[in-house]
């Protein structure tokens, strides 16, 4: 018999993942036993280094035990002549047709351990066989003798770990913890598909995991395997081929949690969330889901912990992407959820309401298929997907902006995008208001944070353009004021004015910002808004000193008008207004303007207007204005259409 014609050490180094550990070894040993028709399998786990001190309660005398040796015994067919011939061939196709095996699994033994010892009693041949599997393995090394065998039995022993897994001198320790309950759970999760498929054909398999020091034993029996239902669906490839997938599912209220796996060759490979498919069931429900397919069998990697499938792209070799597979999986789950979970529609609508509250501008870009399972899929993944569709729609609009003629469809799409951009803008405004309210309610009156809402402090760039601003907090007419002077420029203007008027500019005060109606390089009809924020301890200052701050603001306005040739200025002083300051403002000719909270004090100085407003009033007025937009948005939202499908939109007339 010829030896294994390959360089095993090279194959182990290159083809077997460095992530392989003792759990993978245990799984491989058990799986091989199952494939050999075993129905009783026992896994003996031993820790050699540390004694078990059961009488001690001191944790330092009971350090965490780890697995050293592994022994797997089974009552399978054993190493028959045919089985052993297959074992001696790298990448054998002996079990390919029946089990989808790649013929490399046994190499996991030599990734972790120096050698694997096999002993087999073969009833069908009345043979006792022994051999040691190493990187220098030759199939002629087997020792075989004829004896009377009443019952087949095979023993796999792994005793000497490789140094890159355990080397006390170098403080390397990659051994798994000897916790038979945790190991049982891992075996069960990995082998549930295998055990279920055998259970389905009437073969009951019992697996015992034994701690040899304590003699504690835990078992996996047929009762641990869910009674799965199944539903099949087709996924169409980029070449118009149909590939069949089968979803095995068990949804119940007996336990909590969701286990969802993609499977290959009757083994779990990776979880749904690893491929961006995140499930979230109601609290009282649990689910066990297994997705299986011949396509998965073909594209699983050698270690069976991932697939050679791209997230989105396909080609001649990889005909399906995860997007293709998960899209049809989502449709399949939608049908199952409606059958298995009462009131699933209301759960979906509740999740949709959450998304509307957080990202109202994305509602129109949630896929119809996602709506049906919205309550059971991770909200973040839905938002992420909708955001991509929104950005894609905007990119498409920009690309087509140079067309000579536009169809009705183009026009409606442009209107839809514009509407959702507006919704996004209003949503951003709501977030700013909520942030201000939280600060005010918690008495975190930080003028620096409020200042930065209008214009970032300590800027020294030479550019004017700032894009979007938050001047709508003062008045919506200032939305278009997208040019601002930097702190550096303001300092220069006021310092120059001080020299000219022989006054002293307060260099310690950074809380003033200047915004322009358009690019200030164009002086034609230039207007501006000035925002000054007084420190919130300002109310503790004497009344005269506080009122003197208004005169300084007037001086600053004159400085800005002169330096930038501004024709009209609106200035806002944001501060705390106590009774003393209110009386001084009234005596000086400031008029009280209506607001939703405290009055706003206003006075005109020619082509300059000054408004004195407190933070609470600023928030209340901005919220009242924003609420008008929110009401319009909510009345026309997709959620309203779903909740009230027969209700006409706001812009339609009612008969």
Q: Is the model more confident about 620 or about 544? A: 620
Contact yes or no for 132/40 (Cβ under 8 A): no
3-class state of residue 220 by DSSP: strand
Domain residues for the domain of 486 are: 445-613
Is residue 44, in this structure, part of any structural domain at all? yes
183 plus 239 within the same structural domain = no
Confidence of residue 509 (pLDDT cuts 50, 70, 90): low
Is residue 322, in this structure, part of any structural domain at all? yes
- Answer with the one of 308, 340, 372 that is the final residue of a domain: 340
pLDDT in the model for residue 83: 83
CA 372, CA 359: separation in Å to the nearest integer? 19
pLDDT in the model for residue 170: 92
| pLDDT tens-digit series, residues 575-623 | 888 888 889 899 999 999 988 878 899 999 999 999 999 888 888 888 8
3-state DSSP of 52-66: CCCCCCCHHHCCCCE
Is residue 606, in this structure, part of any structural domain at all? yes
Element (H, E) at 527: strand 527-533
- Answer with the one of 224, 246, 269 that is the final residue of a domain: 224
CATH code, domain with 42: 3.30.565.10
204 plus 103 within the same structural domain = yes
What is the count of structural domains for the chain?
4
89 plus 208 within the same structural domain = yes
Is residue 652, in this structure, part of any structural domain at all? yes
15 plus 101 within the same structural domain = yes
Is residue 48, in this structure, part of any structural domain at all? yes
378 plus 459 within the same structural domain = no
Cα distances from 68 to residues 20, 223, 298, in angstroms, run 15, 30, 34
219 plus 237 within the same structural domain = no
CA 277, CA 329: separation in Å to the nearest integer? 9
559 plus 449 within the same structural domain = yes
pLDDT in the model for residue 150: 93
440 plus 452 within the same structural domain = no
Cα dihedral sign, 93-95-99-103: negative
- Answer with the one of 196, 224, 252 that is the final residue of a domain: 224
252 plus 219 within the same structural domain = no
Is residue 26, in this structure, part of any structural domain at all? yes
170 plus 152 within the same structural domain = yes
39 plus 169 within the same structural domain = yes
240 plus 130 within the same structural domain = no
Is residue 555, in this structure, part of any structural domain at all? yes
Half-sphere exposure in the Cβ direction for 341 (13 Å, CA): 27
Mean pLDDT computed over 49-74:
70
Is residue 1, in this structure, part of any structural domain at all? no
Contact yes or no for 126/150 (Cβ under 8 A): no
pLDDT in the model for residue 552: 84
3-class state of residue 4 by DSSP: coil
pLDDT over 70 at 50, yes or no: no
CA 21, CA 94: separation in Å to the nearest integer? 26
């Amino acid at each position: 018999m010829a030896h294994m014609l390959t360089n095993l050490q090279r194959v182990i180094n290159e083809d077997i993942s460095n992530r392989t550990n003792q759990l993978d070894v245990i799984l491989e040993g058990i799986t091989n036993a199952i494939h050999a028709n075993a129905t009783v399998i026992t896994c003996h786990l031993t820790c050699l280094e540390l004694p078990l001190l059961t009488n001690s309660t001191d944790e330092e005398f009971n350090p965490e035990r780890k697995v050293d040796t592994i022994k797997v015994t089974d009552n399978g067919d054993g190493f028959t002549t045919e089985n052993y011939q297959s074992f001696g061939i790298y990448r054998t196709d002996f079990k390919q047709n029946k089990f989808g095996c790649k013929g490399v699994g046994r190499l996991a033994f030599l990734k972790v351990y120096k050698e694997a010892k096999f002993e087999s009693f073969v009833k069908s041949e009345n043979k006792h066989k022994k051999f040691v599997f190493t990187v220098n393995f030759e199939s002629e090394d087997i020792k075989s003798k004829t004896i009377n065998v009443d019952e087949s039995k095979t023993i796999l022993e792994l005793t000497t770990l490789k140094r890159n897994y355990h080397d006390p001198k170098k403080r390397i320790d990659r051994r798994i913890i000897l916790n038979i309950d945790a190991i049982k759970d891992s075996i069960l999760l990995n082998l549930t598909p295998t055990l279920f498929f055998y259970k389905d054909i009437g073969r009951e398999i019992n697996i015992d995991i034994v701690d040899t020091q304590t003699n504690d034993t835990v078992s996996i029996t047929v009762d641990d395997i869910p009674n799965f239902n199944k539903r099949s669906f087709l996924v169409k490839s980029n070449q118009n081929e149909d590939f069949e997938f089968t979803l095995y599912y068990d949804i119940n209220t007996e336990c909590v949690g969701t286990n969802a796996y993609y499977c290959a060759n009757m083994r779990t490979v990776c979880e749904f969330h690893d491929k961006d498919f995140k499930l979230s069931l109601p609290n009282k429900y649990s689910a066990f889901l297994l997705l299986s397919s011949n396509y998965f069998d073909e594209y699983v990697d050698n270690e069976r912990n991932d697939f050679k499938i791209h997230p989105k792209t396909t080609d001649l070799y990889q005909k399906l992407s995860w997007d293709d597979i998960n899209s049809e999986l989502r449709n399949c789950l939608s049908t199952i959820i409606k059958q298995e979970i009462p009131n699933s529609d209301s759960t979906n609508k509740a999740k949709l309401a959450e998304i509307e509250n957080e990202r109202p501008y994305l509602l129109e870009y949630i896929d119809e298929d996602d709506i049906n399972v919205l309550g059971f899929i991770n909200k973040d993944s839905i938002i992420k997907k909708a955001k991509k569709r929104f950005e894609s729609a905007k990119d498409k609009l920009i690309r087509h902006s140079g067309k000579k003629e536009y169809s009705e469809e183009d026009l409606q799409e442009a209107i839809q995008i514009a509407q959702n951009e507006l919704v996004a803008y209003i949503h951003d405004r709501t977030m700013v208001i909520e942030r201000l309210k939280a600060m005010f309610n918690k008495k975190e009156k930080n003028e620096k944070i409020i200042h930065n809402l209008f214009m970032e402090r300590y800027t020294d760039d030479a550019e004017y353009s700032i894009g979007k601003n938050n001047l709508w907090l003062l008045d919506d007419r200032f939305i278009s004021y997208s040019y601002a002077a930097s702190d550096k420029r303001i300092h220069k203007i006021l310092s120059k004015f001080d020299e000219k008027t022989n006054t002293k500019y307060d260099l310690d005060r950074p809380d003033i910002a200047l915004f322009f109606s358009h690019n200030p390089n164009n002086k034609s009809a230039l207007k501006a808004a000035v925002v000054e924020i007084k420190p919130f301890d300002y109310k503790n200052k004497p009344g005269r000193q506080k009122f003197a701050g208004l005169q300084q603001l007037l001086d600053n306005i004159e400085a800005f008008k002169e330096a930038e040739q501004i024709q009209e200025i609106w200035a806002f002083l944001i501060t705390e207004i106590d009774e003393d300051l209110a009386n001084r403002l009234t005596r000086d000719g400031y008029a009280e303007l209506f607001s939703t909270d405290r009055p706003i004090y206003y006075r005109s100085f020619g082509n300059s207007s000054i408004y004195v407003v407190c933070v609470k009033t600023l928030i209340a007025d901005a919220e009242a204005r924003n609420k008008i937009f929110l009401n319009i948005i909510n009345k026309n939202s997709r959620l309203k259409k779903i909740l009230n499908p027969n209700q006409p939109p706001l812009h339609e007339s009612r008969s």
